[in-house]
Structure 1
Amino acid sequence: MSHRRSLAALTALVLSSSVTAQSDMWSNARPLTLSLSSFKFEPSEILLEHDAPYRLHFVNGSSGGHDFAAKTFFAAARIKPEDAGKIRGGRVEVGGGESVDVQLIAPSSPGTYKVRCTHFMHSAFGMTGKVIVR
């Protein structure tokens, strides 16, 4: 086998194992449901393990819209490429009665990130929380 063919075969093997590892990582994402309702997040404190994959399931049980704004958190997390478009300006918008799933890997460093709903007066009425990465 020529060196060129060996290199091509090795490259294909590395790429295929990388794709397999990536898909295994996302298939093992821990599910976490986050409820958005009239002026609260449930839970209001979200505990995540650093570098662990999660599938955040945002559910809006009210008729009006809400968002989950955590710009610093989303910037520090690694978002699954297919879900990156669901985060705009550091927030996930969830219409009334709708749900949105976002898969991500929690930030590498432990820390606390503020969360709020940016809709008019929602955070003033208590729609705030935090993500704690340990």
Structure 2
Amino acid sequence: MRVIPLALAALALSVPVTAAEAPARVTVTLANFSFTPADLHLHAGQPVTIHFVNDGSGGHDFTAAEFFAAATMDAANRARVDGAKGRVSLGKGESRDVTLTPRAGTYKVHCSHFMHSTMGMTGKLVVD
């Protein structure tokens, strides 16, 4: 009788256990008149956490209205994005995570602060 429980325990230990996969994570750094990376490539339909970091000497934002409007997000993540303008605004030294599932397409990105995009703070999101 002792053999059966031992055999069942051995069988249970031999079955691989897979944890739910966490979303991919990418970092976007906002600095004085640049995004790094300037062109961000994501996979359509695959959840991703975008970690926004402002390393600039003042405030910056990541404005991509069409991208954020097309993406699927829960209410908590939607609240981290200014939905009316499709932007993530950060003060000097701030950071914020936004988890979403992107939709396929190519989207323009810019900083909406005065003259920042003119000075090179632009980029694009490619989701395929």
Same fold by TM-score, threshold 0.5 exceeded? yes
Q: CA RMSD in A?
A: 1.0
Which runs of 4 or more aligned residues in structure 1 lie more than 6 Å from their structure 2 counterparts after TM superposition? none
Q: Return the offset for 1:62.
A: 1.5
Of residues 105, 120, 124, the one that matches 1:126 is: 120
User: What's the TM-score once normalised by structure 1's chain length?
Assistant: 0.77
Instruction: Name the structure 2 match of 1:14.
Output: none
Note if 1:38 corresponds to 2:41: no
Which structure has the larger Rg? 2
Instruction: Name the structure 2 match of 1:73.
Output: 67
Runs of at least 5 residues in structure 2 that lack an aligned partner in the other structure: 1-19
Q: Is the 8 A contact 2:56 2:93 kept in 1?
A: yes
SS in 2 for 1:75: helix
Q: Return the offset for 1:81.
A: 2.0
Instruction: Name the structure 2 match of 1:62.
Output: 56
Runs of at least 5 residues in structure 1 that lack an aligned partner in the other structure: 1-23
- Between the aligned residues of both structures, percent identity stands at 47
SS in 1 for 2:56: coil
Instruction: Name the structure 2 match of 1:98.
Output: 94
What is the alpha-carbon distance in structure 1 between the residues aligned to residue 75 and residue 22 of structure 2?
16
SS in 1 for 2:79: helix
What is the alpha-carbon distance in structure 1 between the residues aligned to residue 116 and residue 77 of structure 2?
25
Q: Return the offset for 1:96.
A: 0.5
SS in 2 for 1:57: strand
User: What's the TM-score once normalised by structure 2's chain length?
Assistant: 0.80
SS in 2 for 1:86: coil
Q: Return the offset for 1:124.
A: 0.4
Q: Is the 8 A contact 1:80 1:102 kept in 2?
A: no
What is the alpha-carbon distance in structure 2 between the residues aligned to residue 117 and residue 62 of structure 1?
12
